[in-house]
């Protein structure tokens, strides 16, 4: 399947996003009212395996993978995936939904795939199933977000490329701009990117003011409630 058109953001915007933690980005998106507050982030079953790397920012290439007993799986989807990744704008993120029904029984990515993904412009790999070769992939500087570390690749097969996928309750589409760190992954709508620096500054200022008040000698719960606006 051909990947859909992707709305890219500027290099300056990418640099800015890499300097902000994911919860602050999530909070800064809310005032734009572009989506429901329960939408736009991947659930906690997909967790950051290398939190020391800081934020990951890149465009999702979505694929589905499976693993099942029987004959060795076809490699057709494998090569089509790499061809699609090569066409993606950088930085990209290989984003995988496990549809095997047994996500603890297969590692969909390891050192070899991470090395090739990095060569083709990917900065991270996100999966709601298994990955492996943690130390080797960490040394490559490739972000890993996954649910499990699994020793074997099983009988992994790529089924679809470029279609919408679901990761722990969140629909992710090819071209979505993902921002992830130790706290999880949020999808950044391109429509709000230009306004994010000011929105992030406002979030930080309000949080700093609140925390200073809570830590101060004049603190009262009633006053804090009045200040909060909710």
* 168 is annotated as contributing to ligand binding: no
Does residue 2 have a pLDDT over 60?
no
Cα angle: 79, vertex 86, 102; to 5 degrees: 50
Specify the pLDDT at position 21. Answer: 98
What is the average per-residue pLDDT within 214-227? 92
How far is CA 128 from its chain centroid?
11
* 133 is annotated as contributing to ligand binding: yes
* 132 is annotated as contributing to ligand binding: yes
Q: Which residue is associated with the tokens 């950088």?
A: 90
Domain ranges of the chain: 11-189
Return the bridge partners of 94, or none. Answer: 61, 125
In percent, the amount of the chain with pLDDT more than 90 equals: 89
Q: pLDDT band at residue 76, thresholds of 50, 70 and 90?
A: confident
- Give this prediction's pTM: 0.94
Pair of tokens at residue 55: 């934020």
Nearby residues of 151 by Cβ (< 8 Å), 6 or more positions away: 107, 132
Specify the pLDDT at position 229. Answer: 73
Q: pLDDT band at residue 16, thresholds of 50, 70 and 90?
A: very high
Q: What share of the chain is helix, strand, coil (3-state, %, to 5)?
A: 35, 25, 40
Specify the pLDDT at position 135. Answer: 98
Please state, rounded to an integer, the average pLDDT across all residues of the chain: 95
d(CA 39, CA 116): 32
Specify the pLDDT at position 114. Answer: 98
Specify the pLDDT at position 170. Answer: 98
Q: How many CB atoms lie within 10 A of CB 47?
A: 19
* 12 is annotated as contributing to ligand binding: no
d(CA 45, CA 63): 18
Q: Going by CATH, does the domain composed of 11-189 fall within 3.50.30.40?
A: yes
* 111 is annotated as contributing to ligand binding: yes
**What are the start-end ranges of the H helices in the chain?**
11-18, 22-29, 76-87, 111-119, 134-140, 196-215, 221-228
Side-chain-side CA neighbours of 60 within 13 Å: the count stands at 32
Specify the pLDDT at position 74. Answer: 84
Torsion of the alpha carbons at 160, 165, 167 and 171, rounded to the nearest 10? 170
Q: pLDDT band at residue 80, thresholds of 50, 70 and 90?
A: very high
């Amino acid at each position: 399947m051909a990947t859909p058109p992707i709305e890219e953001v500027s290099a300056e915007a990418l640099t800015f996003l890499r300097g902000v933690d994911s919860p602050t980005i999530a909070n800064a998106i809310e005032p734009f009212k572009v989506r429901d507050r329960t939408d736009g982030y991947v659930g906690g079953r997909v967790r950051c395996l290398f939190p020391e790397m800081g934020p990951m920012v890149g465009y999702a290439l979505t694929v589905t993978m499976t693993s099942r007993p029987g004959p060795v799986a076809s490699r057709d989807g494998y090569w089509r995936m790499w061809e699609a990744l090569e066409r993606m704008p950088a930085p990209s993120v290989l984003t995988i939904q496990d549809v095997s029904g047994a996500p603890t029984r297969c590692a969909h990515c390891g050192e070899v795939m991470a090395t090739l993904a990095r060569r083709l412009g990917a900065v991270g790999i996100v999966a709601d199933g298994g990955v492996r070769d943690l130390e080797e992939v960490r040394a490559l500087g490739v972000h890993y977000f996954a649910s499990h570390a699994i020793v074997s690749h099983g009988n992994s097969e790529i089924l679809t490329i470029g279609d919408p996928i679901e990761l722990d309750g969140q629909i992710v589409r090819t071209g979505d701009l993902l921002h992830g760190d130790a706290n999880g992954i949020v999808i950044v709508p391109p429509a709000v990117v230009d306004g994010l620096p000011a929105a992030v500054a406002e979030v930080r200022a309000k949080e700093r003011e609140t925390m200073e008040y809570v830590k101060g000698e004049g603190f009262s719960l009633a006053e804090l409630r009045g200040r909060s606006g909710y």
